[in-house]
Amino acid sequence: MDIRFENAGVDYGSRTALVPLNLTLQERRIGVIGLNGSGKTTFARLINGLVKPTSGRVVVDGLDTVGDAAEVLGKVGYIFQSPQNQIILPIVRDDIAFGLKARGFDKAQIEAAVEGILGRFGVGHLGARRAHELSGGELQMAALCSVLVTGPDILILDEPTNQLDLKNRALVQRTMATLPENVIVISHDLPLLEDFERVLLFDQGRLVADAPAAEAIARYREMAG
């Protein structure tokens, strides 16, 4: 993974959501922390091109997130804060297949890929379930399958343990630990990020710390009082 922020910043009208920054991300596990409204989500959305920089550019493995938007979307998977908004079709299996249909896979390929991804995470029993009947952790697993089935190299998770009970939180943490993909996690759940190689701390749209997890988290605790 090679993500480069080249003086990339975002303004929404007169409000600066992210102050232009220069940064290279190559680690396999990167955490993003900061207070609400500090620019974490804008930062993460720049990486998969959901947000376009208003200054500078973001390059992911040599691809410009604006000029090569479609390729970048294929390379960077994104799991949103509310997985229920990410799941479009009501049956888990149908929803996982949906992203593949859009990419022109044939029926046999889709079936194999869906079975493969459900099997990879040991959640084959969720395939026929209705998404609205799933627990929070199961919903996260379904969202994870629907994103990873398309084979992204990089996965961004926005508050993956938000509103989960301890059991489901542990499930998500265990799953994250086994992912071979490069993972970027935005979270207020600091213990989740404790063994990450690098953690970025944002405050009011600025990157204020870029350090190993322990150091960045300590700074955040200090900042938050």
Question: Which residues here bind another protein, judged by CB under 8 A?
Answer: 45, 48, 50, 70, 73-74, 77-78, 80, 82, 84-91, 94-95, 97-99, 102-104, 130-132, 146-147, 150
Q: Which one, 98 or 121, has the nearer CB to another protein?
A: 98
Q: Which one, 186 or 216, has the nearer CB to another protein?
A: 186
Q: Which one, 61 or 210, has the nearer CB to another protein?
A: 61
For every residue of 59-121, DSSP letters joined together read EETTEETTTTHHHHHHHEEEE-S-HHHH--SSBHHHHHHHHHHHTT--HHHHHHHHHHHHHHT
CB atoms within 10 A of CB 20: 18
CB atoms within 10 A of CB 215: 13
Q: Least distance in Å: CB of 155 to another protein?
A: 11
Greatest alpha-carbon span in the chain: 55
Q: Least distance in Å: CB of 84 to another protein?
A: 6
Q: Least distance in Å: CB of 161 to another protein?
A: 18
Q: Which one, 29 or 45, has the nearer CB to another protein?
A: 45
User: How many helices (DSSP H) and strands (DSSP E) are in the chain?
Assistant: 8, 10
Q: Least distance in Å: CB of 158 to another protein?
A: 10
Local structure of residue 125 (DSSP, 8 states): G
Q: Least distance in Å: CB of 147 to another protein?
A: 7
Q: Which one, 69 or 208, has the nearer CB to another protein?
A: 69
Q: How far apart are CA 157 and CA 180, in angstroms?
A: 14
